[in-house]
Structure 1
Amino acid sequence: MAQSIEPNIADLANGWLKKYKLPYKLEQESVNAEIDKALTDYFTKNGGKGANRPDAKILLQDKNLNYYPVLIEYKGYKNKLVKLDKDGQVENRTSKNLPNFTNINSYAVNGAVHYANALLHHTSYTDIIAIGVTGHKDSSGNIHHEIGVYYVSKSNLGAGQKVDDYTDLSFLAKNNFDAFIEKVKALQLTQGELDKLKEQREREIDQSLVKLNNDIYQNEKGLGENDRVYLVAASIIATLGIPGKVTPLEKADLKSSTEKGYRDGDLMIKKIESFLSYKELPEEKKNLIVRTLSNTLLTENINKVKGGESQLKRVFVKIVDDLGIYYKIGLTTDFTGKLFNEMYGWLGFSQDKLNDVVLTPSYVANLLVKLARVNKDSYVWDFATGSAGLLVAAMNEMLNDAKENINSPEELAQKEIAIKAEQLLGLELLSSVYMLAILNMILMGDGSSNILNTDSLTDFDGKYGYGKTNAIFPADAFILNPPYSADGNGMNFVERALNMMNKGYAAIIIQNSSGSGKAVGYNKRILAKHTLLASIKMPVDIFIGKSSVNTNIYVFKVNEKHHKDEVVKFIDFTNDGYTRSNRKKASNNLKDTDHAKERYQEVVDLVRFGKNKLKIFTEREYYEGHIDPNNGADWNQSAPIDLNPKFSDFKKTISDYIAYEISDLLKNQEITDESLGK
């Protein structure tokens, strides 16, 4: 193998940095304490702990005084600049979603992007420049170099985007840097690319949560399931920080002191109180959160110091190291929903009880939101909100619609605030689940103000919980995955919510026996005031690993009585295009094997526009029929099968028979000819 010329490449590139009078630091030197600490805390290029040492580091400012860390990695071989995956992304993860240490070690850009992710994970910097430089000598001893320049940021979920092709590093020079940053800001990922990255990151989250929960379950004694959930919630809130107001809690801040008022739990509670005060949460809600988390954080056992460290600090470090990057890069995913499903996977619920705490997969949540026709001006509520996954999906749909339709930045900013503060309302009775809902909405950008710890069936009067407390919440979109052990499998929630609305649409996913006899009384009363638009039969394994229950989605038009001649769209969606498995160690238990995204969109179009939208589905899966409003048990219909033989069937049978006879005759003729030839 050719000898590495890395010293020559380092000499060449450092020479440029010197020439452009850039304040660069070499691998052993310090840029600042925050960056140094992040590189030390992040896992190394070999997977262990220790120090990550980029070959060169610079902290540069643009004309707007924004800081950009620049991390440079040198290699000394031909074709060792960058390793991309089949989608053109820097390939720093294996097919099993684990760090690809071979690529991170061997390729200059991959190494630099790895360092950049350390800063995303452990610092307040959200925009980083990762540069790889490599080269080789030809037979005459001349050096040929290559440069890869990538932008790693919150906006591209830490994956990195190529900025442009460069032959030297002069784009970093003071007089060129602003133009370079303009180019960086103009980089755009397509929605398809962003969706792929989100899917990859979500799979990583699943894996990290499993690892974290296994670790806590096996190694941290005395922590119940609620404690684990509260510890994750508390750790995340304490480390979020608010720029210029609340500094994030660092691992080093927890000293494992035994002094009253300065124990690790005391410090975490102080940080959480500070965060919630600046977030201007209502006092009542703030007190509830602090009280709930204090019950876990201030216990004697968790703050007891052994070997110079409390159990609380040990668990806090695990949480920050395993999960930090995912909430810092602002993933718009039901983060705590994933957390909830993983953490509650350890609980010994009975099958029936288990159904009550299983949360809706994000792709089903998105379907419900679209079926309820949610847009930027909707007012959306959920009467059994769980971890708020459905409201997160609704919020994302509303924010996307606002971005697409509002061209004034100022107007858009005001609309985004209104969506989060005034246009979402959720109700959750279980306090541990309620905490997750609040955390989820805080992570998604403060849509938590009207998540209420209230019984939606008995104590909710239809008014805002915070802010406009005397005003009725003008709901015009209702989404729900109710507890199936409730009356009528949960149709009691549906009746109550619909009767509190004046207009709009509703989409609920529910055990399908509610539409075939288990909820007759509720269904008749609902149809006396509201219209059933569609009944969609869902795949039986949609909650795989949590429960196997037959579910349907029912779609309603609010405040219009159902007439017997109304057309109801019945859709058999048991083949939704996804293949699911429940393998504990699988990197991805959900695979799109048959146009899943297109199928989900087609269901939305069929419900809204009718059979002219049939493309993938056939009339065997899509049927327009009628129900009797006075029946209440005829909501789960399928396309009728015509058992009467048609003339075309008769013709086909005869032609098949004749073809068979001729084929048989010819075969026999061949055998006779062969035997005669012998």
Structure 2
Amino acid sequence: MAKREVKTDLWVYDLLKQANIHLDPQGSSIKEIDTALKTASKKGTGKVGFPEYVGVVKDYLLVIEDKADLAKHIKLDDKGNISAETAAITDYAVNGAVFYGKHLAENTSYKKVIVFGVSGDEKKHKITPVYIDETEFYRELLEVESFISFNEDNIDEYYIREILKENTDYEKETAEILKDASVLHEDLRNYGNLLDTEKPLIVSGILLALRESEYKNFSVNDLTGDSVKTDGQKIYDAINANLQRANVSPEVKKDKILSQFAFIKDTVKLNEVEPKLKKTPLKHFAEYLNDKIYKSIRYISSAEDYIGRFYGEFMSYSGGDGDR
């Protein structure tokens, strides 16, 4: 078990590094926090206790507790609240995180505390943020897939939107979505020479491939216009990997879905460097989708709605009306 816990600790460290967040492991370099942790034993003995990671981003105090076993993610009491029993605090990720968060909210000057219970590993995991204010009131938030929303660039927007439940300047308006869909559709017509039935497949295929970027299996920068392993082949391979990750079964169903994307690797025009673009059309489309759509999805609770609105509008351009 100890070996599994260490692997989880290292995986969480990698997630923090990817999000450009620096937290201290097993203690704190901030004197006020370090002093408070000297009486933070999870067993309630008044002795020292350390979460896996703790630190500050802007004026937010972040705390992480992790467990290797998904079954040790969270324990609720009879009323459906996060259990405050000593055994639950000791053995479960969310419970331990909330314990440390409350202790630090009470014993430091930080008024905004976000704690995370993390369980599992890179392949299968849960990351649950919980907000704790200066009154030690806590609120469990929607699960996230990474810590990207909590770095210096994004944490204020996350706080306003997910905790205060207010709109932010970063929320894309419908007009912007309509514009993005229109521009992409025009580019697909100009540079792709595609059938109307193929255009939405290009969009959905690239979005599936971009999901593999989270696992370092795909990057837009890898699309170099190589004639041996083409950009289309790289995208196709990433789509295949993502379908496998989603456990699409039976195999015949996965193969049928995958076959619909075969034209991405087989269409010569898509895989040749276009003189005006100075890159392949596929790379151009992937960059556009990555910058305008994929990177704009900061919050897991709005991701599906955002993609749905974009995709629905895009489909209106590809509904068989050749004049659009």
- TM-score, length basis structure 1: 0.25
Greater RCO, 1 or 2 (C-alpha within 8 Å, sep 6+): 2
Q: Which has the higher helix share?
A: 2
If you compute each CA radius of gyration, which structure gives the higher value, 1 or 2?
1
